[in-house]
Amino acid sequence: MFTMVSTFVLLQLCASVVAATNENFQNTRNCETSTFTAPVIPGAKVLSITAKERRNVDIPAAIASFQPLSDLNFCEIKVYLAHLGANDRVLVETWLPLSQDLWNDRFQATGGGAWATGMLDIALGPAIASGYAASSTDGGHPFDFFTPDWMLNENKSINWDLVHNFATRSLADQVYVGKSLTEQFYGRQPRYSYWNGCSQGGRQGYTVAQRYPGLLDGVLAAAPALKLPNVIMSGIWPIVAMHEAGTLVSNCEFSWFASKALEECDILDGAKDGVIGNPEACTFDPLRLVGQKMECSGHKIEVTGAMADAVRNVHRGPTTPFGINVFPGVPYGTPLNAFLNVTIDSNGVRTLNDPGVLDVFPRTILLKDSNFNVSKLNTSEYFALWVQANEEYGWILNTEHSDLSAFRDTGARLLSWHGINDPIIPYQNTVKYRQHVEREMGGAKAVDNFFRLFLAPGVEHCGLGAGAVPKDPLESLLGWVERGEPPETLTSETRNQDGELVTRDLCRYPRVPKYLAIGDINKASSWSCEGVDGAEEGDFAGGLKDGLKQAGLGWD
């Protein structure tokens, strides 16, 4: 009797295994165009679908924060679509692991960067390597990382269809397309769906949370370019500030001031580790260095009042002739040579070299004047362009809606981090948005239930710098969404100048790091997070008048 029962159970088990194997085989379709049908995309129609199997694909390290990838195997599906009433042709590219065994049951929508709506292979590679089904989009325009020329029609008028795609529309398109194709290929919907992006991709993540609640379960948005027109215009502020001060400050001199700020403020978090842990506690003032001397380009240079004033105004951020600071600057200690390029020749002559991408938006889009010279702008002219940028583009390029109740009510989660020494997008821009959400939605504790922000001391734009960079923030978001484990810290690491591993646990805003005065300063266990969880209302610095708000000169 026992033998008969055991045999029966064994046969049943074998049948279950065979059935599961057959189901797995059936649910993973062939990677062929005929496998897929047109996804339903609100406000758009599908023009074409093509699918093909890709094997042994290598993705180079096109961006320093990405690692090269090799031998990727996936199903590549390209969907071209057009929006109703628009003259566009938009690519949404989706990559799918070739079998369910390789798929982690999740979907990832990937963000763009700078003026690229999507990063395509650069972003899809890491996603597919981690087992995700993933999508990206070109927004209907050529991949152009550094210039927005695609915004112009041949007659120099603005192609608002493409701007709309870039700002909002294509972000949702790629999710609708990607999730539909994923379900068609595997026979079931993804269990969870996420956004992953930094910089422009970070802004896009916030846009998805604000405008398309319910579309995704979690959003990872780093260094977001919130209030995009202001971010763009703030990039040329250092040139204006130096022009008004009547002096050019060289890269070497800015680096010297940064080193002096580090000497003064590094110890404020309890340890000299080459990073200013809490720049808000730093009271460094360049004017105190007037009369001191440095060496740059073989010259002994004395700090003048004009030089110190220029440095202070650069770090303060865009400030009107009436003394109103309308956008945050970057903290002292932040390197400014990412775009600025002032040199001193052997005769001591200072030259502002080609500002590169800094002035491309006002030159190409605002003024449509190829002869525009940013170095000649005075403060009044600069803010006239600031107002123009916000009046013409703020309505579509700003990502500032502070009522996230619809996003919260879907049960979704928003995890964001920002490098404190980001020279391109000031971290305080993200902090101010977070504070505004707190004011709108019941205070810091209430907001922490669905939106958490982490600041990374010493980290520059989306990575690099002297500070520890988040190691796997997407995994922290997964733990929050899927297991109900809200992150208190983010595991981060880097290598110091001696090549030693440095680990840190980034603090949840508004807490700040503090060395415990015992243990190895390179180890996260020797540090704690100091401060309260936050007041019931954020310490929002604002109060600008209605006219300035409408002009985009500050937060509403």
At residue 27 the predicted structure's pLDDT band, cuts being 50, 70 and 90, is: low
Q: Where are the beta strands (DSSP E) in 353-392?
A: none
65 versus 518: the higher-pLDDT residue is 518
Residue 372, CA atoms < 13 Å, CB-side half-sphere: 21
Strand partners, 339: none
| Alpha carbons 218 and 349: distance in angstroms, whole number | 53
26 versus 138: the higher-pLDDT residue is 138
Average of pLDDT values for 147-159? 95
| Distance set, CA 412 to CA 180, 192, 203, 222, 422 (Å) | 20, 10, 17, 17, 27
Strand partners, 195: 109, 219
pLDDT for 15 equals: 41
Provide the mean pLDDT of the chain: 90
Which residues belong to the active site? 199, 422, 461
Average of pLDDT values for 481-498? 96
Q: Is pLDDT above 90 for 534?
A: no
Residues 145, 116: contact at Cβ < 8 Å? yes
Average of pLDDT values for 304-326? 95
pLDDT digits (tens, 9 = 90+) for 350-402: 988 877 677 899 999 999 998 888 888 999 999 999 999 999 999 999 999 99
Per-residue tokens: 126? 């890491």
Q: Is pLDDT above 70 for 535?
A: no
| Percent over 70 (pLDDT), the chain | 89
Residues 462, 65: contact at Cβ < 8 Å? yes
Which helix (H) or strand (E) covers residue 219, if one does?
strand 218-222
Residue-wise burial string across 381-419, b where 16 or more C-beta atoms lie within 10 A, e elsewhere: ebbebbbbbbeebbeebbbbbbebeebbeeebbbbbbbb
| Alpha carbons 208 and 204: distance in angstroms, whole number | 6
| Alpha carbons 318 and 315: distance in angstroms, whole number | 9
| Contact partners, residue 30, CB within 8 Å, separation at least 6 | none
| Alpha carbons 250 and 337: distance in angstroms, whole number | 9
pLDDT digits (tens, 9 = 90+) for 161-203: 999 999 999 999 999 999 999 999 999 999 999 999 999 999 9
Give residue limits of the domains in the chain.
Answer: 24-190, 193-227+399-556, 232-358
pLDDT for 298 equals: 85
Strand partners, 440: none
Cis peptide before 487 (omega within 30 of 0): no
| Alpha carbons 136 and 432: distance in angstroms, whole number | 29
Q: Is pLDDT above 80 for 426?
A: yes
Q: Is pLDDT above 70 for 24?
A: no
Among the listed residues 141, 139, 38, 36, the one whose alpha carbon sits nearest the alpha carbon of residue 96: 36
pLDDT for 348 equals: 85
Helix axis angle for 305-316 and 251-265, nearest 10°, is 70
pLDDT digits (tens, 9 = 90+) for 28-81: 689 999 999 999 999 999 999 999 999 999 988 765 446 789 899 999 999 999
pLDDT for 62 equals: 62
Q: Which residue has the tokens 């209907």?
A: 140
Range of weakest confidence among 25-29, 237-241, 430-434, 549-553? 549-553
pLDDT for 29 equals: 81
| Amino acid (one-letter) located at 247 | T
pLDDT for 532 equals: 67
Cβ-defined contacts of 79-82 (< 8 Å, 24+)? 79/38, 79/39, 79/46, 79/48, 79/49, 79/177, 79/181, 80/46, 80/47, 80/48, 81/41, 81/44, 81/45, 81/46, 81/47, 81/173, 81/177, 82/44, 82/45, 82/47
Residues 286, 312: contact at Cβ < 8 Å? yes
| Alpha carbons 187 and 118: distance in angstroms, whole number | 27
Average of pLDDT values for 507-535? 91
